[in-house]
Amino acid sequence: MGVDRRMNFGIVVFPGSNCDRDCYYVIKEILNQPVRFIWHQETDLNGIDCVILPGGFSYGDYLRAGAIARFSPVMSEVKEFADRGGLIVGICNGFQILTEAGLLPGALGRNKGLKFICRYVSLRVERNDTPFTTEYRRGDIIRMPIAHNEGNYYIDNPDKIRNQVVLRYYGENPNGAIDDIAGIVNERGNVFGLMPHPERCSEKILGSEDGLKIFKSIVRAL
């Protein structure tokens, strides 16, 4: 990766976020890119090229995962940032927040087995023409860990978003998500939500580096 590429990342931190520092480590220590934390009460995204809504349990997942976080002051600016074409990634709880905020279609409900799932799963890359997946090839089978209780993606008519599906569960569907959907983008293609955790599989020592390509793709999108 060229040293001249500098993508300024901002990681939003909500009360209950617990994967913010994992994302920070990948961006700062592995990719050597500028990154800062953004407290959920901030409303200034000036200078940011890519916003990350990390995993965790914002506000303890009370009421419904992501339902309270969507009202945080920062989310108004996140919506405007998306409208301007800024890149946004929502990982796990971040994906849930994006659906609750209306930035992505559909909703995420309780896993089909009504139990928390924490393990690696296989995924198929359906699109490599997004700013988040150019480092993959279409049809690639990759491995990433999941860790969620509410990852069961649902939408009334999955055919309406067929061209927006970026990742599907491969081999098995761990949570009952409709059409095996694990990750989608908005119609414009600049907002990406996924239930798997790419930040937890970005070094060999973690058992997989498959997630690193998402972050590399974002940097190359600059």
Determine the pLDDT at residue 64.
Answer: 85
201 is catalytic: no
SS3 letters across 141-162 = EEEEEEEECCCEEECCCHHHHH
Q: What is the DSSP secondary-structure string of 99-155?
A: HHTTSSSSEEE--TTSS-EEEEEEEEE----STTTTTS-TT-EEEEEEEES--EEE-
Kindly name the residue from 23, 40, 50, 197 that is annotated as catalytic: 197
DSSP bridge pairs for 107: 154
pTM comes to 0.96
Q: What is the mean pLDDT of residues 19-43?
A: 97
92, 100, 148, 150: the active-site residue: 92
- Give the span between the Cα atoms of 189 and 128, in whole angstroms: 11
199 counts as catalytic? yes
Rounded Cα gap, residues 143 and 166, in angstroms: 14
CA–CA separation, 214 and 136 (whole Å): 8
99: left (phi over 0), alpha (psi -120 to 50) or beta: alpha
Distance CA 66, CA 61 (A): 6
Distance, CA of 116 to CA of 105 (rounded, Å): 23
Q: Quick one: pLDDT at residue 2?
A: 42
Read off the pLDDT of residues 106-140 as tens digits, 9 standing for 90 and up: 999 999 999 999 999 999 999 999 999 999 999 99
Task: Phi first, then psi: give them for residue 52, nearest 5 degrees.
Answer: -115, 125
Calpha distance 160→178 (Å, rounded): 13
In this model, does residue 3 exceed pLDDT 80?
A: no
Domain locations along the chain? 9-220
- For the domain made up of 9-220, the CATH class stated in words is alpha beta
Select which of 126, 148, 199, 201 is catalytic.
199
